[in-house]
């Protein structure tokens, strides 16, 4: 099943400049694996070596943070929208 994935600006060089791509999977983990198949290098930017999301990467399904659902095992249905959002840090000392 296909879902829409929103790609943040820093990762668009891996998706040939596309800000939105389609990916297949019944959960977020499978979508990430499908993204990696079609856009090599993407998974290592958002996941640790053990497959868990990097702590500075947030993923939302239909505007809901997957950390409050089933993390990368969050199930998806057709036409869901997955957003990858890198955390922003910084400030003035």
Q: How confident is the model at residue 89 (pLDDT cuts 50, 70, 90)?
A: low
Q: How distant, in Å, are the alpha carbons of 9, 38, 47 from that of 76? A: 24, 19, 19
Predicted local distance difference test score (pLDDT) of residue 1: 81
Quick one: how far is CA 19 from the chain centroid?
12
The answer to whether the CB of 24 falls within 8 A of the CB of 1 is yes
Q: How confident is the model at residue 91 (pLDDT cuts 50, 70, 90)?
A: low
Q: Tell whether the model's pLDDT for residue 90 goes beyond 70.
A: no
Q: Tell whether the model's pLDDT for residue 7 goes beyond 90.
A: yes
Q: Domain residues of the chain, as ranges?
A: 2-86
The number of beta carbons lying within 10 Å of the beta carbon of residue 40 is 10
Give me the CATH code for the 2-86 domain, please: 3.10.20.30
Alpha helices in 1-93 (DSSP H): 28-38, 42-46
Residue 9, token pair as written in the block: 């600006």
The answer to whether the CB of 45 falls within 8 A of the CB of 39 is no
């Amino acid at each position: 099943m296909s879902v829409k994935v929103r790609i943040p600006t820093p990762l668009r060089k891996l998706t040939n400049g596309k800000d939105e791509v389609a990916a297949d999977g019944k959960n977020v983990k499978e979508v990430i694996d499908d993204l990696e198949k079609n856009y090599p290098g993407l998974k290592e930017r958002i996941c640790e070596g053990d497959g868990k999301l990097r702590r500075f990467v947030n993923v939302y399904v239909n505007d809901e943070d997957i950390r409050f659902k089933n993390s990368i095992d969050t199930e998806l249905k057709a036409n869901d929208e997955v957003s990858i959002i890198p955390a922003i840090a910084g400030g003035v000392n």
